[in-house]
Amino acid sequence: MKQKTTRLEYLDAVRGIAAMMVVVYHFIGWKWGDYTKYHVASLIFNGSDAVSFFFVLSGFVLSYKYFHSDIKLNLPRFTYKRILRLYPAFIVTIILNFLYWNRVNLMDGYILEVLKDIFLFDNKELVLEYTMVRNVHKYYIPGWTLGVEMALSLLMPFLILAGRKSIKILWWFLPICLFLGSYVSMFMLHFVLGTLLAYYYEPLKNFKWKKWTYKRWNLVILVTTLLFFSIRHLDRMMPFPFAYHQVADLLKLDFFHFTGIASAVILLWIISNRKAQSLLEIKPLKFLGKISYSVYLMHWLFVVFVMDYWDDLIVYFNNYYVGFGVLLTAVIISTILSAIVLYYVVEEPFIKIARRSKWFTHDRYIVP
């Protein structure tokens, strides 16, 4: 009989690193998006495509235990736990950003009016943003990624069931995702890739890049992976020919498809590399991984604040680059500290509620 799976904490650390990439990316991209230095920096702090890695990783994490343990798939409980995992901290984030947007009204004494918008739902845009999946993101702009995360997370049970029935179904579904992307979501590809990696986890963790049959292609795979993951910024630095974009439009290819494939290869490399796992398992990185969702949620507020008052803040520094570094560091520290609070006050309590809850625990909810 299969045993319950152990948590792969090194993957939490990877998520934490990706979240910090997003923080830096949004900071440097706010005012310097047209600078060559920004595009070069984005090859390292590629926050725009870190979301591809998030989605591939989500596909892996959400399906992993169902392929490698005796845990039964309970569809209503899966949905219930996913909602409690994502929504509470998300709603708190929306409210905090809404309050910031309405800071002038609050300072002018219109407190009741602002609170009424929050709790009595007079503000239509605020209500729509609460729903996460309606593609309304006025107050917390990065919320679009969480809408994708929620919507496609709820499709994961069907991918899991398909993989359990026959893994060939997922392999056939992989190219279909390219065409369905225009009608459902281009990120379906990412979740399917993550699910496939989860299914093959056991052989992959023992995979030896230096010993496999096609090891002579390792360098080509490495370079291609790096190019695919950075393709968006390469296009910004050296625009691709018009013919490429015509062909890409015809084939329904988006840069996110390339970064999704690259993310899957990166995740495969991490799964099969014990040295990388040992590095990722150091306590600070594991802790960063634990609060990574809160880091992603909280960073936007501090980035927006610093950029709104950039001209007032930068004058305190004689050297522009020193000021840039200090303000970026301040945003990172503020983000981490606030993320710790959000995690322990909101995230963790709701995680425990979801685990302890007796809702949807009856055998009739188990999917064969």
Asked if residue 178 lies in contact with residue 257, where contact means CB atoms within 8 angstroms, the answer is yes
The answer for residues whose C-beta is within 8 angstroms of residue 135's C-beta and 6 or more apart is 144, 147
Maximum CA extent, the chain? 71
Q: From first to last of its 368 residues, what are the pLDDT tens digits of the chain? A: 455 556 788 999 999 999 999 999 899 887 766 666 666 777 777 778 889 999 999 999 999 999 988 888 888 888 889 999 999 999 999 989 988 988 877 777 777 777 777 666 656 677 778 887 767 788 899 988 998 899 899 889 999 999 999 999 999 988 888 777 766 788 999 999 999 999 999 999 988 888 888 888 889 999 999 989 988 888 888 888 888 888 888 878 888 999 999 999 999 999 999 999 999 999 999 999 999 999 999 999 999 999 999 999 999 999 988 999 999 999 999 999 999 999 999 999 999 998 888 777 766 666 66
Grouping H, G, I as helix, E, B as strand and the rest as coil, residue 74 is strand
CA-based angle 47:48:54, to the nearest 5? 75
Separation CA 192–CA 181 (nearest Å)? 12
Residue ranges of the domains in the chain? 9-367
Separation CA 98–CA 301 (nearest Å)? 10
Which residues are bridge partners to 219 per DSSP? none
Instruction: Give the residue among 153, 187, 195, 151 at the shortest CA–CA distance from 170.
Output: 195
Take residue 14 and report the two structure tokens written for it: 């990877």
Grouping H, G, I as helix, E, B as strand and the rest as coil, residue 226 is helix
